Structure 1
Amino acid sequence: MLPHQFFKMLSDETRLRCLILIAREERVSVGELCAALDQSQPKISRHLAILRQSGVLLDQRDGQWVYYLVNSELPGWMRKVIAGLTASNCLKAEYQQDIANYQVATSTSK
């Protein structure tokens, strides 16, 4: 994937929010993303499919659940961009509600 394609893909806020949360938590299910982002399952699944088809995410089936994780074989520049997005204090503040919602969703599902 070329840089302009990567950044164009991330220009969608839902995809960006998904990627940041998945990179931060390492492995996230569709249901957890729906709860964290307060979005419908079809919408989240559509955006995850785009990220998966591009090779940015991998999916992992565990029984009836499908989990998504960042592809560890991405080129170094992509991994650095994703790591930078995840580590950014500005974005942590911007997407703090996603993180809080995720923590609530995962604590109630255990």
Structure 2
Amino acid sequence: MSTELTPVEAAACCSPLARQPLSEAEAEGIAPLLKALADPVRLRLMSMVASHEGGEACVCDLNDAFELSQPTISHHLKILHEAGLLDREKRGVWVYYRARTGALQNLAALIGGQAP
């Protein structure tokens, strides 16, 4: 029985995930995004906003999905906004959030092994 890999098997198991390592500047730019998403509540909030009908969600649309107070939800949304993952717009007494597609594309490129 041969232990040598075919070229296809070698490429599948041994290919690097990225073309090149992240630079220091790239790592410093991406780390705050990953840190903001490292909390399960924030990760769910980001997912809910990004997939919400019309591409934006009001705090009032998000509260019922969690057993957390509205101020706690707003705090998590603020962290996502400050990290650059969400845009926000105040309309009357409510704040509406929209995912920043550029930030999400950079994360997707990092995960997919392409340069951001």
TM range (shorter): 0.5 to 0.7
Aligned residues: 81
Query: Aligned pair in 2 of structure 1 residues 75, 33: CA closer, same or farther (>3 Å)?
Result: closer
- 3-state SS, counterpart of residue 60 of structure 1: strand
52, 56, 63: which one aligns with 2:92 = 63
1:95 matched residue in structure 2: none
Counterpart AA for 2:41: T
Identity of aligned residues (%): 33
Gaps of 5+ in 1: 85-110
1:38 matched residue in structure 2: 67
- 3-state SS, counterpart of residue 88 of structure 2: strand
TM-score (norm 2): 0.60
Q: Kindly indicate whether structure 1 or structure 2 has the higher relative contact order, using CA contacts under 8 Å at least 6 residues apart.
A: 1
Matches within 5 A, 1:96-107: none
2:83 matched residue in structure 1: 54
- What is the CA-CA distance between 1:75 and the residue it aligns to? 6.5
Counterpart AA for 2:36: M
2:40 matched residue in structure 1: 13
| Cα distance between partner residues in 2 of 1:42 and 1:65 | 12
Look at both structures and tell me which one has the larger radius of gyration over its CA atoms: 2
Answer 1 or 2: which has greater helix percent: 1
Counterpart AA for 1:70: A
Gaps of 5+ in 2: 1-27
Corresponding position: 1:23 with 2:50: yes
- CA deviations over 1:39-88 (Å, ceiling 9, x no partner): 2111101111111111110111222221111123437323x37xx9xxxx
- 3-state SS, counterpart of residue 95 of structure 2: strand
TM-score (norm 1): 0.63
